[in-house]
Amino acid sequence: MVRWIAGFVVVVGTLIAGLIYSQQPPSALTVSGFIEADEIRLGSRVGGRVAKVLIEEGQQVQPGDLLVELEPFDLMQRQAEAEALWNQRMAVHEKLVAGYREEEIAQAEARLDSSKANLLMLKNGPRQQEIEAAKAEVDLAKAEQELAQEVYDRTAGLVKQGASTQEALDRATKERAAAAERVKARQEQLDLLLQGTRDEEIAMADARMREQEQATLLMKNGYRDQQIAEAYSAMKAAESALAAIDQQLEELKVHAPSTGTIEAVDLQVGDLVSANAPVVSMIDTQSLWVRAYVPEDQLDINLGQQVPITVDSYPNETFTGEITFIARQAEFTPGNVQTPEERSKQVFRIKVTLVEGHDRLRAGMAADVWLEGHP
Segments making up each domain of the chain, as ranges = 25-59+271-372, 80-99+224-249
Predicted confidence at residue 87, as pLDDT, reads 95
Q: In what order do the strands lie in the sheet with 66-70?
A: 253-255, 66-70, 48-53, 272-273
**Distance between CA atoms of residues 213 and 218, nearest Å:** 9
Question: Per-block average pLDDT, block size 10, for the chain (375 residues)?
Answer: 45 44 54 90 90 90 92 90 94 91 89 88 81 87 88 85 83 89 88 78 88 89 91 94 92 90 88 90 89 86 91 91 90 55 69 90 90 71
Three-state DSSP state, 318: strand
**Strand ranges (DSSP E) for the chain?**
29-44, 48-53, 60-61, 66-70, 253-255, 260-265, 272-273, 277-295, 306-311, 314-326, 331-332, 346-354, 366-372
Predicted confidence at residue 375, as pLDDT, reads 61
**Distance between CA atoms of residues 277 and 47, nearest Å:** 8
**Distance between CA atoms of residues 363 and 36, nearest Å:** 5
**Distance between CA atoms of residues 261 and 56, nearest Å:** 10
Predicted confidence at residue 17, as pLDDT, reads 43
Asked whether 68 and 280 are in contact (CB, 8 A), the reply is yes
Residue type, 99: G
What is the largest distance, in Å, between two alpha-carbon atoms of the chain? 209
Tell me which residue of 173, 169, 172, 170 sits closest to 159, measured CA to CA: 169
Residue type, 18: G
**Distance between CA atoms of residues 266 and 227, nearest Å:** 55
Tell me which residue of 357, 235, 222, 339 sits closest to 285, measured CA to CA: 357
Asked whether 323 and 301 are in contact (CB, 8 A), the reply is yes
CATH of 25-59+271-372, one of 2.30.110.10, 2.40.30.170, 3.40.640.10, 3.30.110.30: 2.40.30.170
**Distance between CA atoms of residues 268 and 273, nearest Å:** 10
**Distance between CA atoms of residues 302 and 323, nearest Å:** 7
Residue type, 248: Q
Count of alpha carbons within 13 angstroms of residue 346, beta-carbon side = 8
Tell me which residue of 189, 192, 210, 194 sits closest to 118, measured CA to CA: 210
**Distance between CA atoms of residues 149 and 178, nearest Å:** 11
Q: How far is CA 372 from CA 233, 288, 301, 309, 313, in A?
A: 65, 22, 10, 11, 22
The structure's pTM equals 0.55
Cα 121 → chain centroid: 58
3-state helix, strand, coil in the chain (%, to 5): 50, 25, 25
Cross-strand bridge partners of residue 346: 332
Predicted confidence at residue 26, as pLDDT, reads 46
**Distance between CA atoms of residues 148 and 273, nearest Å:** 104
Asked whether 291 and 36 are in contact (CB, 8 A), the reply is yes
